[in-house]
């Protein structure tokens, strides 16, 4: 499978909201307070208000469910979601981002699937996102 | 993006159920009557019950695919696979697919992102991976080349 770089996404988060043990696992919500994204075709900032709903499962892996709004440097809004899997025991942190936008300049995002490689840094999560060609 | 081949999956689709115009687009459901999958780490058949592809033709002519199939390995494990996908391409190519004609899969975009769930310990590795697939729509049903995302 071929891919090409789409963006580097940096998120900042506020303290986790620990919902606790639910029927599906242990739910932690990571509120997103901001961030930035940068790629050849788009760049801008992450708006506050999104989050990552993270469910810890019985096999020690984390199921990710993120929603954020991106604002490009020319004013377009892009709704981004991903589901993903984080397995710290195997150093595996992969996501499947999807995008929705009404801005014609960025409509290519509506038509692509992507994969992300995530990493937790001291300043917050960083995701290297590539378009699946 | 580093990947390695997980399996080839052939599914057989039967007569679609044309639900029609819904608020999100045009909904069509393609029931799956069976199929086979084969890779170095797993192989088996697709179960017909509860396997289908829920298709939505959007206003921008992109086809959203929401596939759910149950796989049974040669040694009896059940694996639930779900994948979201997108398919789009030049109108003449998409029309040819609609007529059931053979079409070179390089001429259109047909990509999906499978996830797996199983309770069988021999296949537990599937619970812990994310996959990407390219599709090739044949008259009898799609063939998916599924790669594990490393």
Beta-bridged to residue B131, according to DSSP, are B148
CA nearest to A79, candidates A93, A64, A69, A88: A69
How many angstroms separate the CA atoms of A2 and B1, rounded?
Answer: 7
> Is position A70 within any domain?
yes
Residues 26-45 in B contacting A (C-alpha not used; CB under 8 Å): none
CATH topology of domain B3-149: Porin (2.40.160)
Domain limits of chain B? 3-149
Q: How far is A29 from chain B (nearest CA, A)?
A: 21
How many angstroms separate the CA atoms of B38 and B28, rounded?
Answer: 28
End-to-end CA distance of chain A: 7
Task: Output the pLDDT for position B50.
Answer: 82
Question: In this complex, is the C-beta atom of B84 within 8 Å of any C-beta atom belonging to chain A?
Answer: yes
- Considering only CB atoms, A110 lies closest to which of B3, B60, B128, namely B60
* HEC readout, B61-74: CCEEEEEEEEEEEC
> Is position A122 within any domain?
yes
Total of domains in chain A: 1
Q: Provide, rounded to the nearest whole percent, the portion of chain A with pLDDT above 70.
A: 100
Task: Output the pLDDT for position A1.
Answer: 86
Contact A113 B85 (CB under 8 A): yes
> Is position A132 within any domain?
no
Task: Output the pLDDT for position B49.
Answer: 83
Q: How far is A89 from chain B (nearest CA, A)?
A: 11
From chain B, the residues in CB contact with A130 under 8 A are 1
Task: Output the pLDDT for position B71.
Answer: 97
From chain A, the residues in CB contact with B127 under 8 A are 59, 61
Q: Residue range A103-119: average pLDDT?
A: 97
State yes or no: pLDDT of A71 exceeds 90.
yes
From chain A, the residues in CB contact with B132 under 8 A are 1, 113, 115, 132
Task: Output the pLDDT for position A127.
Answer: 98
Q: Which residues contact B68 (CB under 8 A, 6 or more apart)?
A: B50, B51, B52, B53, B54, B80, B81, B82
Q: What is the widest separation between alpha-carbon atoms in chain B?
A: 46
Q: Residue range A82-94: average pLDDT?
A: 96
What is the domain range of residue A50?
A: 3-127
How many angstroms separate the CA atoms of B56 and A55, rounded?
Answer: 28
Q: How far is B130 from chain A (nearest CA, A)?
A: 7
Q: Residue range A101-127: average pLDDT?
A: 96
How many angstroms separate the CA atoms of B64 and B112, rounded?
Answer: 10
Contact A1 B134 (CB under 8 A): yes
Q: What is the CATH number of the domain that holds A57?
A: 2.40.160.20
Task: Output the pLDDT for position A22.
Answer: 92
> Is position A56 within any domain?
yes
> Is position A98 within any domain?
yes
> Is position A94 within any domain?
yes
ipTM: 0.89
Give the residues of chain B that fall short of pLDDT 50: none
Tell me the pLDDT tens digit for each residue of A1-46: 899 999 999 999 999 999 999 999 999 999 999 999 999 999 999 9
Task: Output the pLDDT for position B129.
Answer: 97
Task: Output the pLDDT for position A102.
Answer: 96
Task: Output the pLDDT for position B33.
Answer: 95
């Amino acid at each position: 499978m071929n891919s090409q770089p789409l963006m580097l996404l940096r998120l900042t988060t506020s303290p986790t909201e620990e919902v606790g043990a639910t029927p599906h696992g242990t739910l932690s919500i990571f509120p997103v307070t901001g961030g930035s994204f940068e790629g050849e075709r788009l760049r801008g900032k992450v708006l506050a208000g999104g989050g990552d709903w993270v469910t810890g499962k019985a096999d020690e892996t984390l199921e990710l469910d993120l929603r954020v709004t991106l604002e490009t440097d020319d004013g377009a809004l892009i709704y981004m979601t991903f589901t993903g899997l984080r397995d710290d025991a195997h150093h595996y942190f992969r996501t499947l981002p999807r995008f929705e936008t009404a801005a014609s300049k960025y409509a290519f995002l509506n038509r692509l699937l992507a994969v992300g490689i995530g990493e937790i840094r001291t300043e917050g999560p960083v995701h290297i996102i590539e378009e699946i060609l | 993006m580093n990947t390695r081949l997980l399996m080839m999956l052939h599914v057989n689709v039967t007569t679609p159920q044309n639900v029609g115009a819904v608020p999100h687009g045009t909904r069509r459901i393609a029931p799956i009557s069976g199929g086979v999958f084969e890779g170095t780490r797993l192989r088996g058949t697709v179960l017909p019950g509860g396997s289908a592809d829920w298709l939505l033709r959007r206003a921008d002519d992109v086809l959203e695919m929401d596939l759910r199939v149950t796989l049974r390995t040669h040694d009896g494990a059940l694996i639930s696979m779900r994948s979201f996908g997108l398919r789009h391409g030049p109108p003449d190519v998409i029309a040819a697919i609609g007529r059931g004609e053979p079409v070179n899969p390089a001429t259109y975009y047909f990509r999906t992102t499978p996830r797996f769930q199983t309770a069988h310990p021999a296949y537990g590795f599937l619970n812990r991976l994310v996959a990407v697939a390219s599709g090739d729509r044949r008259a009898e049903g799609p063939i998916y080349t599924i790669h594990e995302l490393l």
